[in-house]
Chains A and B, each alone.
Chain A
Amino acid sequence: MTLELAVRWAEIILGFAIFQQSVELLRGLSWEKKLALVRAPLAILLMAGFQPLFVELVLLGTAAVLISRYRGPYNGGSDTMTLLVLLCLCLSHLAQSRYWQEIALGYLAIQLTLSYFQSGWVKVINPQWRGGEALQQVFALSAYPVSNNVRTWAQKPRLLWLMSWAVIGFELLFPLALLNQTLLFIALFIAGLFHLANACLFGLNRFFWIWLAAYPVIIWFQQRFAEIL
């Protein structure tokens, strides 16, 4: 995948993710609705590829307003990733040379890799995660399970132990996928399923869409990485 194609695909998926977030925001408070009415059309323009640099700059401005009003992200990591993808794509347009374009997009690819690896690392060093108790508590007590039926998964310790290690193993091994394109495609497919499961079990729908937006960039990055190696 060429850098230009990766940017285009990332912008299409990012545009969709921001549109989806904006439509949800239309149900919010009055100031949120106003901002959503600005962001939704911009997201459509981003998908269409119309003046991407200008559109991304305005979207960054509106994102800054949101962060300021909420004193941080509204939807945790998904807002962080949205801003990161937006910023790196914007910087890739602003870059005066190919070298700086690659630095901007490479930073996004590294952050995407870290989003899995660091998340796996903090789990593997935690004995509660290694024993499956942490995931048991997520299902039993946390605010995330979407229904009482999903909460009952807390009573399946063997399954949760297996799920914990599946998640930890996948997250820790993710950086190895950068060594080979086929491996990366398999890893991204599994990662997509992982985000889909999080959306179904914990209602984290925004994470699903925004993580997908960074995938074209990591596919480009892997090719570039292989060339350097």
Chain B
Amino acid sequence: MLKLLLPILFPSWRFFSSIGPSPRIDIGWLGEKNAQPLEWLPFRSLQERLTLAAGVQCLFFNPVWNERLYLNTCAEHLLECDSAFHAQQIAERLLHAVNTGELKAGAARYLVFRVRALTDEAGQVRDDVVFMSEPILLQEAGQ
């Protein structure tokens, strides 16, 4: 606990000190555990434009976006190392999105996700898959 608390009591305010690879989370649906997803879909892709009214509302209430930022932090950990905890965090929240109806599973029985790393290399964007989850049984989420 002390290890978690110390950086808060003596914080380092190095916001955007360097710009590293940026993660993206994609999801795929599976009918069978050993199958491959037919397509990968970006999880919570960006809106085209945010209206002024929506912007003002987000100043007071922006839970989906803040969860997106948390998932991004978890994905960043997965870019650095294979962290079971952070993979589990992403899986839990994807299952929650299925349970709340945000993600439509259809006839699928399993969900998989992957993390891609986008890196700028001299003006060219490099796109690498760096993490692939195990299939997650949707029945566990009450499906």
A145-B50 Cα distance, complex, nearest whole Å: 11
**Chain B contact residue count (CB 8 A cutoff):** 48
CB contacts under 8 Å to A, within B1-50, are 1, 4-5, 7-9, 11-19, 22-24, 46-50
A220-B22 Cα distance, complex, nearest whole Å: 40
B4 contacts across to A, CB distance below 8 A: 67-68, 71-72
The interface bits of chain A over 104-144 (1 if a CB of B lies within 8 angstroms of the residue's CB, else 0) are 00000001001110110011001011000010011011111
CB contacts under 8 Å to B, within A75-91, are 75-77, 79-81, 83-84, 87
| Cβ A149 vs Cβ B13 within 8 A | no
**Among B63-71, B105-113, B128-136, the stretch in contact with A:** B63-71
Contact among A75, A115, A142 for B19, CB-based, below 8 A: A142
| Cβ B22 vs Cβ A143 within 8 A | yes
Contact among B70, B85, B118 for A74, CB-based, below 8 A: B70
B1 contacts across to A, CB distance below 8 A: 64, 67-68
The interface bits of chain A over 153-165 (1 if a CB of B lies within 8 angstroms of the residue's CB, else 0) are 0000000000000
| Cβ B47 vs Cβ A128 within 8 A | no
A84-B7 Cα distance, complex, nearest whole Å: 10
Given contacts A76-B69, A119-B14, contact A147 B19 (CB under 8 A): no
The interface bits of chain B over 86-104 (1 if a CB of A lies within 8 angstroms of the residue's CB, else 0) are 0001001100100000000
Q: Does A20 contact B (CB under 8 A)?
A: yes
CB contacts under 8 Å to A, within B67-82, are 67-70, 72-73
CB distance from A164 to the nearest CB of B (A): 10
**Among A21-29, A49-57, A95-103, the stretch in contact with B:** A21-29
| Cβ A147 vs Cβ B8 within 8 A | no
| Cβ A122 vs Cβ B50 within 8 A | no
Given contacts A67-B5, A68-B4, contact A142 B14 (CB under 8 A): no
Closest to A129 in B: B16
CB distance from B140 to the nearest CB of A (A): 14
| Cβ A75 vs Cβ B15 within 8 A | no
| Cβ A87 vs Cβ B9 within 8 A | yes
A62 contacts across to B, CB distance below 8 A: none
A173 contacts across to B, CB distance below 8 A: none
Contact among A28, A114, A128, A134 for B67, CB-based, below 8 A: A28
| Cβ B63 vs Cβ A141 within 8 A | no
| Cβ B8 vs Cβ A83 within 8 A | yes
A77-B19 Cα distance, complex, nearest whole Å: 17
| Cβ B11 vs Cβ A80 within 8 A | yes
| Cβ A80 vs Cβ B66 within 8 A | no
Contact among A67, A118, A126 for B8, CB-based, below 8 A: A67
Q: Does A208 contact B (CB under 8 A)?
A: yes
| Cβ B5 vs Cβ A64 within 8 A | yes
CB distance from A225 to the nearest CB of B (A): 20
CB distance from A85 to the nearest CB of B (A): 11
Contact among B15, B58, B96 for A203, CB-based, below 8 A: B58
**Complex A-B: 5 CB contacts under 8 Å:** A123-B17, A134-B18, A142-B22, A147-B48, A203-B66
Interface residues of B (CB under 8 A from A): 1, 4-5, 7-9, 11-19, 22-24, 46-50, 55, 58-70, 72-73, 85, 89, 92-93, 96, 118-120, 125
